[in-house]
Structure 1
Amino acid sequence: MGGAGWTRQSQRDFSSFVISSRLIEIPFKTGELTWTNRRSGFLNIAERLDRFFIAGDWTESHWANEAEILLITGSDHYPICLRIQDDNAPERCPFKFEAMWLWDISIRNLVEQWWKHKPDNPGNKAFILLKKLQFLKEQFKRWNRESFRNILKEKVDLEEGLKTLHEQIISQGMDEDL
Structure 2
Amino acid sequence: MRLKSSGFGYVFLQFMALSYYTQTTIQSGSIPNFKHHVSEQGRLSDRMSRRLTRTYQLYSRTSGKHVQVLGNRRINANGEDGDIHAKLVVETDTFGSQVRIRGAKAGYYICMNKRGKLIVRRKGHGRDCIFTEIVLENNYTALQNAKYKGWYMAFTRKGRPRKATETQQHQQEAHFMKRLPRGHLLTEQKHFEINPVSP
Q: TM-score range by the shorter chain?
A: under 0.3
* Largest Rg, 1 or 2: 1
TM-score by length of 2: 0.19
Question: Which of the two has greater strand per residue?
Answer: 2
| TM-score, scaled relative to structure 1 | 0.21
Higher helix share: 1
